[in-house]
Amino acid sequence: MDWFGRASIEFTHAASPLQLPLKGSNGGKTTDLAKLCRDSTPVCQLNPLLFNGHLQTMWTAVAKSAPEIYYRRRIFDADHATYNGTFAVDFTVPPFRVPDPDPTLPQPLPPRTAFFDEASFGSIGSDDSRPMLIVLHGLSGGSYEVYLRHCLAPLLDSDDEPWEIAVVNSRGCAGSSITSGVLFNARATWDIRQVVLWARKTFPNRPLFGLGFSLGANILTNYVGEEGADCPLKAAVVVGNPFDLQVSNKMLQRSFLGASVYETVMGTNMKKLINRHREAIINFTDLDLDRINKIKTLYEFDREVQCPTWGYPTEEAYYRDASSCDLLLDIRIPFLAIQAKDDPIAVEAAVPYGEFKANPYTVLCMTSLGGHLSWFEPGGGRWHAKPVSHFLHNMATKVDLSALPRDLLNHNAKQRQGVTFDPLRRRLQIDLAKE
């Protein structure tokens, strides 16, 4: 039972978690992933006045204070023939004088953000070994989000070695432009894949890590699972992942607040995003703006935008295809998920407990309170920033990342009596020729 905001914490993981070799142990001393996650997770004392997930989640509309983080932006040209267009990546930098808004831009940049000049970005490459974090934000958000900045600040202020951080903004978000008919969706892994490969080439000695929130958590989970043992990241953290989008959506529609508040707010935000890019949508897509402007909820938006854009026959088909729950089975890097049981959006019913128990590379940290990307503490801080930054710090400073095993589960597809389940395909493959 929770008393005065003191949330309970439960960890779910494999019976034999991944063994992590420690630095300076000469192949001897180890810890395991579950223990490192526990050691990275402090007591969860939240604001007792925000005593349930709805209050925690709704308080995000009021509590806007967060560490001030400065960014320089670079527009990347997509290098994939199918997923073409451009997207914006914001890199953390020391504080600078932010120039006045550029009236020629179609949208203003977020606060404390300015573009790189060509010379500065051209010389950004480095042989240093500082840890680097690549971040994905939530639905319709960006690098400016409060929940995100709370997590980045401790890493930027680290006493050991400040981190380098890049936030990949979803296309059209955070003042970025839409330059093709390729928008973003819940399994849009192409942009983060390009940024990770670019970072691997540009900073060859930096250990790379991933962090995702909500929709970005789902995308990051899909990406890490798709890459499997070849993933260039050393570890990843996701926060408030909806995991099974079909379950999450159905649960939202079954409650008054879910259908009337959360679905409506998210749908309205996405409708506003489309209208901010009205000219580009007309030029690059066949979407029906009149129909889009009549929608009220997120699932209606997905029906009018995601389905025609990607060829899904229904929004339910989109949710099943884009869900990241099955891809947990293919993850081969240390992976921590932080969730709240009372999250009204990334609902507990969608959390794949069984998959966390089946994969030794994954650990689930579940708090009894916290809402959606909230976890407000009595003093106004955000509790989730602590386990996120502690886990990443411990992975970067204590673990011998070069010796992490990637072959505990030596094949992605599980075969039993001629039947194969491949998490990437999310379908049971039956060899009909043998019947």
Q: What's the CA gap between 236 and 338, in Å, rounded? A: 11
Is 192 within 8 Å of 134 (Cβ atoms)? yes
Q: What's the CA gap between 34 and 328, in Å, rounded? A: 16
Is 248 within 8 Å of 345 (Cβ atoms)? yes
> 311 CB contacts (<8 Å, ≥6 apart)?
none
Provide mean pLDDT across the span 301-313: 96
Highest mean pLDDT among 20-34, 170-184, 409-423: 170-184
Q: Confidence band (pLDDT; 50, 70, 90) for 425?
A: confident
Task: Read off the tokens for 180.
Answer: 């093709």
Instruction: Look over the chain and give the mean of its residue pLDDT values, rounded to a whole number.
Output: 94
Structure letter (DSSP) for residue 306: I
> 282 CB contacts (<8 Å, ≥6 apart)?
289
Task: Read off the tokens for 232.
Answer: 């260039």
CA 212-216-217 angle, to 5 degrees, is: 55
Backbone angles phi, psi at 213, to 5 degrees: -125, 130
3-class DSSP assignment, residue 307: helix
Q: Which residues are catalytic?
A: 214, 343, 372
Q: Strand 414-416 to strand 362-367: parallel, antiparallel, or no bridges (unpaired)?
A: unpaired
Alpha helices for 359-405 (secondary structure H) = 385-398
Reported as a single tens digit per residue, the pLDDT across 232-243 is 999 999 999 999
Is 316 within 8 Å of 283 (Cβ atoms)? no
The model scores a pTM over 0.85: yes
Structure letter (DSSP) for residue 116: P
**Does position 428 have pLDDT exceeding 80, yes or no?**
no
Is 220 within 8 Å of 240 (Cβ atoms)? no
Provide mean pLDDT across the span 402-416: 71
Backbone angles phi, psi at 274, to 5 degrees: -60, -45
Task: Read off the tokens for 21.
Answer: 């070799």
Structure letter (DSSP) for residue 95: -
Determine the straight-line distance between the first and last CA of the chain, rounded to whole angstroms: 53
Provide mean pLDDT across the span 326-351: 98
Q: Confidence band (pLDDT; 50, 70, 90) for 414?
A: low
Q: Residue 313: what residue type?
A: P
Task: Read off the tokens for 220.
Answer: 């990051």
Provide mean pLDDT across the span 383-390: 98
Task: Read off the tokens for 263.
Answer: 């679905």
Of 159 and 61, the one with more pLDDT? 61
Reported as a single tens digit per residue, the pLDDT across 123-154 is 999 999 999 999 999 999 999 999 999 999 99
Whole-number pLDDT of residue 256: 93
Which residue, among 14, 11, 44, 16, has the nearest Cα to 365 in the 3D structure?
11
Whole-number pLDDT of residue 407: 82
Q: What's the CA gap between 31 and 36, in Å, rounded? A: 7
Q: What's the CA gap between 17 and 328, in Å, rounded? A: 14
Task: Read off the tokens for 237.
Answer: 């953290």
Whole-number pLDDT of residue 158: 86
Is 356 within 8 Å of 337 (Cβ atoms)? yes
Reported as a single tens digit per residue, the pLDDT across 170-185 is 999 999 999 999 999 9
Provide mean pLDDT across the span 311-315: 95
**Does position 210 have pLDDT exceeding 70, yes or no?**
yes
Provide mean pLDDT across the span 10-34: 91
- Domains in the chain: ranges and CATH: 6-244+323-414 (3.40.50.1820), 257-322 (no CATH)
